[in-house]
Structure 1
C-alpha cells in the first residue's frame, strides 16, 4: 500500500466513523479509494503540491453524508450531539474573509457548508453531487456538457457521431477486443455509454472498440463466456467525475443468424446496416436510433426514452415503450406488437399486420400493404390510419366517447354505420381486417 493510499484511507476512516459499518459501506469506501487515487494523480500532474492535490481530490466528494446514511444500517451517529447544547450561528468578519454560520467567503471562494462551492482558484462551481462545472465542461446529474474552447462555445452538448468506427477526437484511451462469432447469445451491457452497432469488415469476428476521455484500464469492458452466452459488460464507473465513453461494436456481414441483446441503463444506442437472427434491446433511460435493420426476431423494451428507426425488416417484433414516443419509417413486420404506455406511436409506410396500442398518446399508422389482420387500440387519444387505394380490407371501428369517420370510397359497404361505430368492408376481395377501438378519442381512416 502506497503512502498516498494510506492517507486517503485515513481521511475516509474519519468520514465513515460516524456510521455503523456494513458490507455496502465497505464496498462504497473501496470505490471511493480508487476514484480518489485517480483524482489525486490528475491534480498532481497540474504541478500542485501533495497536500493541495489531496485536498482537491477530496473536495470533489462534496457532501456524501446522505449516501452514507442510506447505506448504513444504523442511521444514528455515534456522537451524542443531542446531549450537547446547540451552538448559535456565528458571525466573523475580518481581513481573512466573512463567515456567517455555514456561509464562508474568503480568498478560496464561496462555500455554503459542503453543498455549494464557487472556487475561483480552480475555476469550478460545485453543488453537492448534482452540479459540477469546471473549465472542461459541466455535469448536471448524469448529463455532461463539454466546453469547446477553440470555438468559444461554452454550452454545446456533446453529440458523438453515430454509425462510425473512427476514433473520436476527444479520446485519450482506446480499448479493443475481438470475439469469435458462434451460435451463443451475445449480451452487451453498458450502463451509461453511447453505443453504436454497425457492420465491420471481418468474416468471423465481433469487434468491440471502446473510447474514453480518461486513461484507466478500470473502465475497460469485462468479457465472460459460458455454455449459453457471451457477456460483455461495462467496466468500472468513477463516482467523482464523468468519463466520456463511446462504444463501437461491429458484426460481420454474414452474421445473419446471430443472437444479440443490448442493455443500456442511461445512454444512447444506435444501429445501422445490420442483418441478424435476433436483435433485442433493453433501455432503462435513453434513446434508440436505427437504420437498415433486418432480423427474424426483435424484442425492444424501453422504460424511458424515444425510439426512432428507418427501414426495418423483421419477421416478428415486439416493441414496448413505457414512457416515450415510437417513430418508425419504411417498416416491414408481418407480425408486429407495438405499444406505448405514455407516448405516441407513428409508423409510416408500414407493411404487415399485428397489434398496436397507445395508452395516453396518439396512434398514427400509414399502411403500404396489409399482410395480416391489424388490431389498434388507444385508451384516451386518437387513432388515424391511412390505407392505400388498392388495398381491400374489412373494418370494425368503435369509439366509446368519440367520433368515427372513414373516407368515402366508391367500393365501401357498411354493415353498421353510426357516429361512434362503423363495421363493413372496402373493395371486392378483402382478406384482412382493421379492428380499431378507443375509449376516449376519435378514429379516422383515410
Structure 2
C-alpha cells in the first residue's frame, strides 16, 4: 500500500497575519465582524489577490430561485482557471493534499478543475450574534471531550488555539437550524457497478428548539428506505455537548424483531449504516462524535484547492448515473476553488482503538466545514481519501454539502453520500420538539 509523508504538508503551510500563534496571543473577540468575519475567518483576501475579501457571502435566495428545480448557480458564467492532472500537479503541490495527489497519480481521468474563488459562505444573523457573545466564556471540558458554558452558539471557538477546538467548530457548525431530507448513498465497486442506498433524515440542533434537554448538541433520526434488505431500519441519536458528563445516546429499531434496542455501537469506527464497509460511523458528515480517541494538533493554515460552490452537483437535471463513474465520480461536475483552510492532524492516542491511526482534516475558515480528509491505516499508509463538495444553500442560509465521497485506496472502491438530485427538496428550519426524537417516535417511524 502507498505510504504518504506529511512533510509536504508542513512545507506548504502559510505564515499569515492571523496565524495560530498570533491568535493565541490576542484572542480579541472585538475583531469578529471587523478584521475577522463573524465566523472567525480572515476577512481580507490574500496578498496574491487569488482569494478575495469576504463581503458577506450569499445570504438570500437569488432571483428566480425555486427549490423544486434545485439551486440556480450564481457563478455559472465563471470559466476555469486551470485543470490539474497528473501531468502538471507538481506545479500546484503546495496547494494540494497528499490524498488529492494520490488520486491524480492513480486515475488518469481524475482531475481538479479550478475556478475563481467565491467566498459565498453566509449564515443567519443570530449565528453571528451568539458566536461573538458567548465565545469569551466558552471552555473545553476535561480532555477536550466536550464544551461547557455554551448556550446558543454554533461557533464555540471562532479564534481557535488548539486543534480540538477546530474539530468542535466543525461538529457544532450550523446546518440551517434543522434539516429534513431524503438522500441517496452509493457504494461503488471496482468495475463501476453500485447499489442504491436511500435514507430519510431529520436533524435538529438543540439551540434551535424550545424544549431541548440539557447537555445536547442535536437530535438525529435516520430511517433506511433502500436497499430492500435494510428498509425499515431506524437509528436515533441524542448527541451530548459535554461528553465527559454523558456519552452519546443511541437507539435502533429493527423491523425484523419489531423492537427498539440501545445501540452504543453507533459511534467511532463501527461500520456505518449502508456503507458496505467503506466508512465508519464517525466518518459521516466529515467527522462526528466524541473526539476523545485522538490527540488533535493544530498544524496551521494553508491555501488549498477544495470543492466549493458545487451548484452543478445539486442540479435536479442530473441523474445519479451521470455522477457515478468507475474509480471516482464524474470530475467534470466538480468545482474547485482556492480557499484558506485550517489543517488539523489527529493522532490515535496510546491504548485507544480505531481503524485510523491518523486523520488529517482540511477545514474551511469561512464555514468550519471539513472539505478534505486524508486517513491513514495502522502502518501509517494513506488509506481513505475524503472529498466534500461544499455549496452555499442561500435559502437557509447555510454552507452545506452537494455530496461527499470517500475513496478507499486499498479496496479501490468508493462511497458517495448525501446526494439529493433525484429527491424532493431539502427542508430547512422545521420546528421540532424532543418528542419527535423519542424512542416512541423511533418505533412509530419504523412501523
Same topology, TM > 0.5: no
TM-score (norm 1): 0.21
Q: Higher helix fraction: Structure 1 or Structure 2?
A: 2
Higher relative contact order (CA 8 A, sep 6+): 2
TM-score (norm 2): 0.21
The structure that has the greater radius of gyration is 1
Q: Higher strand fraction: Structure 1 or Structure 2?
A: 1
